[in-house]
Amino acid sequence: MNNLPIGIFDSGVGGLTVYRALHDRLPNERFVYLGDTARVPYGTKSLVTVERYALENAAFLAAFGIKLLVVACNTASALALPQIRKQIGLDVVGVIGPGGRKAVEVIGCEKPRIGVIATEATVASNAYPERIYDACDKADILQAACPLFVPLAEEGWTDEPETYSIAKRYLEVFKDFRPQALVMGCTHYPILSNVIQQTVGESVKLIDSG
Ligand code: DGL
């Protein structure tokens, strides 16, 4: 059983940021990665569609004889984790709980102000605030959806003026809120972390799914 690989899926290339973190910490493990680039983005799709895609991806990876499934996609973690756990018969790890707990761990539970940026579907699901409140019920949380970050990351536009200007517009809402930590609740966003960090300011701790 220990020799079996760990399966990871995401809606595209963004989950490779989670793969990299896992590989760094578990260098002796083998991984099978599925990036569903044919059907990206998930973040603009309905609950029923994301659930169907996530279950198909999980079954595809299970056929490789994996010992553990990591749902690296935040949108699939937010919307489909219970269904995957019910149907796959394997240990399944999502990214929402770990990301929310990490934000509280990094800034403490005194009076934390936590920003969350994610896809429209993840924001609408309220999965991050729920998991963050589990870790700290005193948290002040503000969420914003940043859908255009996904194609920018897929295109590799990590330092273009257009990316800075889109980031400025999306992240404007955090100016008054002044978060201490910002959860990048989408696997694609760490690819743009330089732009995001410069836009929100160096003092804001960025948390990623990895
Ligand atoms: N990988 C997805 C996530 O982490 C973002 C991209 C998408 O919309 O599919 O939520």
The answer to whether the predicted template modeling score (pTM) of the entire model surpasses 0.85 is: yes
Length of the chain: 210
Supply the angle between the helices 74-88 and 96-107 in degrees, to the nearest 10. 130
Q: Which of 9, 13, 186, 192 has most ligand 1 atoms within 8 Å of CB, for mutation?
A: 186
Distance from Cα 42 to the centre of ligand 1, integer Å? 6
Q: Which residues line ligand 1 (CB under 6 A)?
A: 10-11, 14, 40-43, 73-75, 119, 122, 150, 186-188
Q: Which of 42, 44, 116, 192 has most ligand 1 atoms within 8 Å of CB, for mutation?
A: 42
Note whether 135 and 100 are within 8 A (CB): yes
Is 73 a catalytic site residue? yes
| Residue 1 confidence (pLDDT) | 58
The tens place of each residue's pLDDT in the chain, 210 residues long, gives: 589 999 999 999 889 989 999 999 999 999 999 999 999 999 999 999 999 999 999 999 999 999 999 999 999 999 999 999 999 999 999 999 999 999 999 999 999 999 999 999 999 999 999 999 999 999 999 999 999 999 999 899 999 999 999 999 999 999 999 999 999 999 999 999 999 999 999 999 999 999
| Residue 149 confidence (pLDDT) | 95
| Residue 19 confidence (pLDDT) | 96
Tokens of 23: 């590989």
> Who contacts 48 (Cβ-Cβ below 8 Å, separation ≥6)?
none
Could you count the other beta carbons within 10 Å of the beta carbon of residue 167?
24
Distance from Cα 75 to the centre of ligand 1, integer Å? 6
Is 146 a catalytic site residue? no
User: What's the rounded Cα separation, in Å, for the pair 210 and 201?
Assistant: 21
Residue environment code for 130-148, b if the CB has 16+ CB neighbours within 10 A, otherwise e: ebbeebbeebebbbbbbbe
